[in-house]
Structure 1
């Protein structure tokens, strides 16, 4: 389980703003004319060639480099925050599946006072954040993350994604399990009025889980930000206005 910079969109071997849509500019003819193409080198799989070509021609990738974000995925959270007003000054935020750190960067730049992240992969240090190199689903990991938060969270953001096997049923079960784990963690650590954001895929959140969230949050909805590639099956679950159990 790990977050890549765009799960379901990243290089197969690794698997792993102003807001508003970012466009490459020009008409379709110009875009085709100036598109960077990558030759298939010896030893490079065709799928890797396509991934590299897509990265080179992705305006969000270029913008991330210009703005100092570690991945294009940062713009997904930026666009979600612009639409739903998720991040407020002084917040304590838990970032699940935090590698390579783009969402942590956004949360801090938008006013969060403290961010605690967790991922299987190592994350280079980010000032103002604690990053844990742990499997979120392993026993004791949630308690370690709670300690790193230092108190109840105002916002839980999850870009968790499983290592895929290629077996559809198995991968579906892993996706559902991660969404549920993130949601139950949020229910456990959020302050009243807090929010929860999680990446989900087609069929990634069960009706039972959604019904539970609707009883514990004022609003629950789905949204696919412009930065999420159109061919990706991902969308985002946004739950706001957390209500603790009486």
Structure 2
């Protein structure tokens, strides 16, 4: 796979102000995209709250409802660039822990973000740029980095670069999802959670069958921060795994 299509792009402070946007030389599609970004309340909120992109609010809404991210957990963020989901994971996984309580050993969480693209450093997270989550060698790297080689939560908001062919893009995203499931089978603790983006299509049944064999309590959700015209949905699962005595 030649790359991940990012569902969000950095928007500068200038573009969010009520100043004219220079459209000269831009295609009609580019003009529509710019105008949509300027009027998007989640883009404005991401800038105001210092999130790297609007997709942060997808994870915030999901976690507010299902409470998957807790202090002390180990979290993997697949397809992390530019890092908004890792930001949310750090805030909820680590920053909610008090700095010091006398006589109490506090849990220490870890957040590992991974992407084939470059990810700007983020305090509180370990970021693996230029790593392909679909490669078994990347899975081995993650196993070495994780405490006890186990993760409590796996996140995936990644998608393939758009080809313009709906079924091809759907097939490529299902391939990515299956690779994330392969990773979960190796490192996710029994009872751990997975949030994974997918698009409905011909191969959705294949994905659902694999999920049913590995997970329980599967839920499907479309956050308000997902644009109405977007076909994206998020699957939330609890991993069955093998209970080790």
CA–CA distance in structure 2, aligned partners of residues 60 and 99 of structure 1: 18
User: Which piece of structure 1 moves more, 158-167 or 73-82?
Assistant: 158-167
The aligned counterpart of 1:17 is none
The aligned counterpart of 1:138 is 135
Structure 1, gaps ≥5 residues long: 12-34
Which of 192, 200, 203 is the matching residue for 1:202?
200
CA–CA distance in structure 2, aligned partners of residues 139 and 183 of structure 1: 12
The Cα of 1:160 is off from its aligned counterpart by 1.5
Which of 40, 56, 61 is the matching residue for 2:23?
40
Post-superposition, which runs of at least 4 consecutive aligned residues in structure 1 deviate over 3 A? 35-40
CA–CA distance in structure 2, aligned partners of residues 160 and 217 of structure 1: 20
Change (3 A) 1:144 1:205: farther
What pairs up with 1:125-164 in 2 under 5 angstroms?
125-133=121-129, 134-150=131-147, 151-164=149-162
| 1:12-46 Cα shifts (integer Å, max 9, x gaps) | xxxxxxxxxxxxxxxxxxxxxxx9875631x2111
The aligned counterpart of 1:65 is 47
SS of 2:62's partner is helix
Which of 212, 216, 219 is the matching residue for 1:218?
216
Query: CA RMSD, aligned part only?
Result: 2.1
**Does 1:117 find its partner at 2:113?**
yes
SS of 1:110's partner is helix
The Cα of 1:188 is off from its aligned counterpart by 1.7
Tell me how many residue pairs correspond in the alignment: 218
The aligned counterpart of 2:77 is 95
What pairs up with 1:163-178 in 2 under 5 angstroms?
163-178=161-176
SS of 1:171's partner is helix
CA–CA distance in structure 1, aligned partners of residues 164 and 206 of structure 2: 26
CA–CA distance in structure 1, aligned partners of residues 5 and 119 of structure 2: 11
Which of 225, 237, 245 is the matching residue for 2:242?
245
CA–CA distance in structure 1, aligned partners of residues 167 and 228 of structure 2: 23
**Does 1:86 find its partner at 2:86?**
no
The aligned counterpart of 2:102 is none
